[in-house]
Structure 1
Amino acid sequence: MAKIAYILLCHKNPDAIIAQAGQLTAAGDCMSIHFDARASSADYSRIRSALDGNPNVTFARKRIKCGWGEWSLVKASLNAIEAAVEAFPRATHFYMVSGDCMAIKTAEYAHRLLDENDKDYIESHDFFESDWIKTGMKEDRLIYRHYFNERNSQWWFYAACNLQKRLGLERDIPHDIQVMIGSQWWCLRRRTIERILDFLRARRDVTRFFSTTWIPDETFFQTLVRHLVPEREIENRTLTFLMFSDYGMPVTFYNDHYDLLLAQDFLFARKISPEALQLKERLGQLYAAKGVEFRISNEGRNLHAFLTGRGRVGRRFAQRFWETESTLGPDRELLLIVCKKWHVAKRLVEQIRRETGIPGVEYLFNEERAALPDLGGLESTLAKRTRHRRALVRMLFDHFGTDRLILCLDPADIDLVKDFCSDKAKTRLLEIECRYSDDYLIGHAQRVRLAGEHTPQATLEKLLPTIRNDLAHEAERIRDAGFARHWLLRETEQPLANAAKLAEFLSVPEDRAAKILEIGYLFSD
């Protein structure tokens, strides 16, 4: 059966460290602690005195002064790992955690997962080919030597790097290794850890190389595991749930995140707020619990992006400079149908095609597989379609050989609606207002991965008002825009009233519009 040795790197909050060690070792697992040498000696003494009597806790023999982005973090990890390997010969797995991490599953669940999957869990992507690094230096992290810390010695950091560039002091990466990059929160099997330690004793050149790279905790273990372990034995993911904000900062979890965290397909979460005392208490009790069933929905990242994005409504698709003066053509008529329930709009467009012959394309800016003709590759991706939207629609007019064209848009695409309505073409807008049952909203949340099949009912009840308000807000933005040629078709309206509006929108007689709306299941879900 799996037995985990937790490798804890920490530098503050001794009470939390003592509690964390007690919680994780209570279920039979163990822990090796490295407490930053820069931190208070009194705090370290307090931790030692509280935990020295716990046989499942050990400490790194040598404490290192750690700095963000430095080799010192890797060295501290290795010191703690070596202590754990010696102190806990029965440990089967080694799991890197920080003082901000807490378990979001039981030990029972974690042990079963590791027993059933004989793999190393570590995120590792090709350093040069992947887009894991979003901003800042990339290749320079490796090919130049870094002796200063960017955060506290910024001038020296960049001066040393620029000097090496001017003098041509680039260095080679060890020829037989492929540098990988990923999250520093990993879980490795004992035999992998032993292979790493043996490799480092034999290959001092690799240690020397990484010791002067920048942010090696994102590359060192990630590279060595890929070098030493067959790919089939590696799960390219971390078991620690963490998210980053739009600004690249770690998302912090609070008391009301308990249900969300337990529903994620991870064993730990980072970062837990120091002020979230209730959350800490509940998660602390969870690890040693028995017989707990977890309903995994894994919607955390999408849900966070959805909820935090509601307050940042801006222009997402600004015109490119070459489109500023472009137009669809003043003699053309673009008929926009805007509806949140895509199936309703599609049914209506199909009826309009049959009765009037006006061609239409449904949700071409939302569905990757929208029914589009070959337009020379411009239609190949959603990003291309949106970026070159006017050129795309001009080509559709030409392809169908028509001066009248129907497009379906989602109400969330207000910027696209505004852009087309500002064109010199005659643009008409038909908005379809539907009723949204709770069942429909739940299905919508699952389709866009705001919720999963096993999302708790209590979470759904909290989420539904937010989704309902969001849909209402999308409709309000369209109406507040004050479009000149705007008709509103309502599910709750009488058929004759809807037929009159549709007739005006399409410029057809009312009896033909009524025939289009004869479809009895237009609004059915």
Structure 2
Amino acid sequence: MARIAFILLCHKDPVGIVAQAQRLTESGDFVSIHFDGRADAGDYARIRAALAGNPAVAFTPRRVKCGWGEWSLVAATLEAVRTAVAAFPQASHFYMLSGDCMPIKSAAYAQEFLDANDLDFIENFDFFDSDWIKTGIKEERLIYRHWFNERTSKRLFYASLDLQKRLGLARPLPADIQVMIGSQWWCLRRQTVERLLAFCDARRDVMRFFATTWIPDETFFQTIVAHVVPRREIRSRTLTFLMFTDYGMPVTFYNDHYDLLLGQDYLFARKISPEAITLRKRLGALWRDSGAQFPITNEAAGLYRFLSGRGRIGRRFGQRFWEADGSLGRGRRLILIVAKKWHVAKRLTAAIRRHTDIPVVDYLFNELDAHLPDMGGIETTLAKRERHRRALVKMLFVQFESPCVALCLDPSALGLIQDFLDDKAETRVLLIDSDFDDDYVRGHIGRVGLAGQHSAPEQVNRLIPAVRADLEHEGERIRDLEIEGFQVISPARGTNANAAALARLLDLDPDTALALAGTDHLFDD
């Protein structure tokens, strides 16, 4: 019978990690944990203390400080894999997981599946011939060396890349290696893992090569497995179900997605929302249910067609075309009021105009009438605004003759929000949190064209859980950016808490902030 050693990479949520480790080991499987070296030491101590008496759990002797897109993620994975190989000689398979993953099948189903399929499950497509990378740099990931992180040191990242290009410092790939690419979530047999580790020990040249590539967690294991295992023994797919938004970010699943997830032809799913307590409990119980049956429907793509139909555009690495137009300027402050319910945001902006001298416009990228001043014609069409977005916002500072400007954005405009956050100007973000009842979701379905006036009610009702999850996920994506000074207001927080958030956002005195927070019918539909 298959026994799985789960390779668990995590950096937060000690309670969830402990619960996950206990659940997975109760089925006779094992867990090897790497807790990010940058994460809270107190959280790590609590995890170790809670799992100290569990012989099926092992911790890596070294905690690597991990960064997105860096070799450190591969190094951390290798630490956890080596730990698992040494600690659990009974393990027949090694399964890569994150703290956001949950099982969507029972342990018995997973074991029977792996027993019946003597294969390695890992996506591996030819790096150069496939279209797996949709946007951003491609061959530059490999042929140039990357010492800086594109997310945390964007200027140094691109300066280093440009300098290497100018000096002709492109390097050859290892001659006997065909570089492959695919998802970082895999399940490998023990003999494959042992061959992989032996390859790592023997081929230091290949290790040095990948150590300075960009996003090697999408290429390293995919390449080495295909090098050490016959292709007929590899199934180029992942056993972890995940979907992507049109910004290349994983869709988050919530309480009402239980039945949808069980119908997918996968063993685990990510990302499960930390707030989806009921879903997590049901999936945890499912892992222990040896008698559960799983009719496979694979209908998730249909329910999410308004997302997946746009195509997976992948992660964004390169400069956007409007970034070449320059910065908004140091010393300026841009305030982004992010709200799905536009009428709520507009009530707040109207109150800001009444009570403060802060210039504020409404949804200038969505509506022609957004309280814009005359800007010489650049603002006359939405298409022009979209083409010249950075120039448009820069002109607002000039037209208003103010070092501070506020504007409204829909939370679906994640790319815009991220671009403004990357600017030299100071950018502050306010999220107006909202509840989405069934009537609102039905209206949204009609507004975005998912259903027409003649659509059958049962078809619309079937879409409601998926659409609501997407609306809620948009807010979660904003939170996931971990913006410094990020503020939230909502009807549930109360007037005083909302006033405190507005005071921090707009640098207001308490009385003015309280007047804004107390705006009549601010959150009403």
TM-score normalized by the length of structure 2: 0.59
Q: Aligned with 2:94: secondary structure?
A: strand
User: Where do residues 229-308 of structure 1 align in structure 2 (5 Å cutoff)?
Assistant: 229-306=229-306
1:173 aligns with 2:176: no
Residue in structure 1 matched with residue 191 of structure 2 by the alignment: 191
Shift of residue 465, structure 1, vs aligned partner? 4.6
C-alpha separation between the residues in 2 aligned to 1:268 and 1:251? 14
Paired AA for residue 48 in structure 2: R
C-alpha spacing 1:80/1:467, structure 2 compared with 1 (3 Å): closer
- Which residue in the other structure is 1:318 paired with? none
CA contact (8 A) 2:8 2:31 kept: yes
Superposed CA offset, 1:35-86 (max 9, x none) = 0000010000000000111011001110000000000000000000000000
1:466 is displaced (CA, Å) by 5.1
What CA distance in whole angstroms lies between the structure 1 residues aligned with 2:129 and 2:219? 14
Q: By how many angstroms is 1:462 displaced? A: 5.8
Structure 1 match to 2:53: 53
Change (3 A) 1:141 1:307: closer
Letter in 2 for 1:58: A
Map 1:25-174 onto structure 2 (within 5 A): 25-174=25-174
How do residues 6-17 of structure 1 correspond to structure 2 at under 5 angstroms?
Answer: 6-17=6-17
1:25 aligned counterpart, secondary structure: helix
**CA offsets per residue over residues 175-224 of structure 1, 9 Å max, x none?**
00100000000000000000000011110001000000000000000000
Q: Partner amino acid for 1:157? A: F
| Deviation (angstroms), 1:302 | 2.5
The answer on whether the counterparts of 2:109 and 2:290 sit within 8 Å (CA) in structure 1 is: no
2: distance between equivalents of 1:151 and 1:3? 38
Overall identity of the aligned pairs, in %:
67
Shift of 1:22: 0.8
What secondary structure, in the 3-state scheme, does the structure 1 residue paired with 2:282 have? Answer: helix
Against the structure 1 CA distance between its residues 461 and 58, is the aligned structure 2 distance closer, same or farther, given a 3 Å change threshold? farther
CA distance in 2, matches of 1:259, 1:462: 17
User: 2:301·2:308 contact (CA, 8 Å) conserved in 1?
Assistant: no
Q: Which amino acid aligns with 1:174?
A: P
Alignment of 1:92-491 (within 5 A): 92-306=92-306, 463=459, 465=461
RMSD: 1.9
Q: Given that residues 12 and 39 in structure 2 are in contact (C-alpha distance below 8 angstroms), is that contact kept between their aligned partners in structure 1?
A: yes
Q: Deviations over 1:389-422 (max 9, x none)?
A: xxxxxxxxxxxxxxxxxxxxxxxxxxxxxxxxxx
| Deviation per residue, 1:81-116 (Å, 9 max, x gap) | 000000000100000000000000000000000000
Hey, what's the Cα distance between the residues in 2 that align with 1:75 and 1:136?
24
Residues 1:232 and 1:462: Cα distance change in structure 2 (over 3 Å): farther
Q: How big is each residue's C-alpha offset from its partner over 1:108-163, in whole Å with a ceiling of 9 and x where there is no partner?
A: 00000000000000001000000000111000000000000000000000111111
Q: Tell me the CA shift for residue 305 of structure 1.
A: 1.4
Gaps of 5+ in 2: 311-449, 451-455, 465-525
Counterpart residue type for residue 283 of structure 1: L
Q: Which residue of 1 aligns with 2:453?
A: none
Q: Which letter does structure 2 place at the counterpart of 1:213?
A: T
Distance 1:53 1:193 in 2: 27
Find the residue that maps to 1:287 and give its secondary structure: helix
Give the residue type in structure 1 aligned to 2:40: S
Supply the distance in 2 between the matched residues of 1:467 and 1:218 (Cα, whole angstroms). Answer: 33
User: Structure 1 306/158 Cα, relative in aligned 2: closer, same or farther at 3 Å?
Assistant: closer
Query: What secondary structure is seen at the aligned counterpart in 1 of 2:288?
Result: coil
Q: Distance in 2 between matches of 1:309 and 1:182?
A: 20
Matched residues in 2 for 1:72 and 1:43: separation? 20
Q: CA deviation at 1:228?
A: 0.8
Cα distance change, pair 44–466 in 1 and its aligned pair in 2 (3 A): closer
Task: Provide closer, same or farther for how the CA distance between residues 78 and 462 of structure 1 changes in structure 2, counting only shifts above 3 A.
Answer: farther
Could you say if the C-alpha distance between residues 25 and 467 of structure 1 is closer, same or farther in structure 2, counting changes exceeding 3 Å? closer
Give 4+ residue runs of structure 1 displaced > 6 Å after superposition. 307-310
Counterparts in 2 of 1:295 and 1:200: CA distance versus 1, 3 Å: same
1:133 corresponds to which letter in structure 2?
I
The alignment partner of 2:5 has SS state of strand
**Number of residue pairs matched?**
320
Aligned to 1:19: 19
Give a deviation string over 1:242-270, Cα, whole Å, max 9, x none.
00012221100000000000000000000
Change (3 A) 1:210 1:309: closer
Secondary structure of 1:9's aligned partner = strand
Return the offset for 1:225: 0.7
1:37 aligned counterpart, secondary structure: coil
Q: 2:303 touches 2:463 (CA, 8 Å); kept in 1?
A: no
Q: 1:135 to 1:308 in 2, by over 3 A?
A: closer
Residue pair 2:93, 2:188 contacting (<8 A) in 1 also? yes
> What is the DSSP-based 3-state SS (H/G/I as helix, E as strand, rest coil) of the residue aligned with 1:94?
strand
* Distance of 1:98 and 1:461 partners within structure 2: 38
User: How far 1:467 moved relative to its partner?
Assistant: 7.8
Distance between the aligned counterparts of 1:192 and 1:5, measured in 2?
Answer: 14
Give the Cα–Cα distance (whole angstroms) in 2 for the partners of residues 306 and 205 of structure 1.
Answer: 45
Letter in 2 for 1:96: M
Q: 2 CA distance for matches of 1:303 and 1:154?
A: 37
2 CA distance for matches of 1:25 and 1:211? 33
The separation in 2 between residues aligned to 1:193 and 1:462, in whole angstroms, is 49
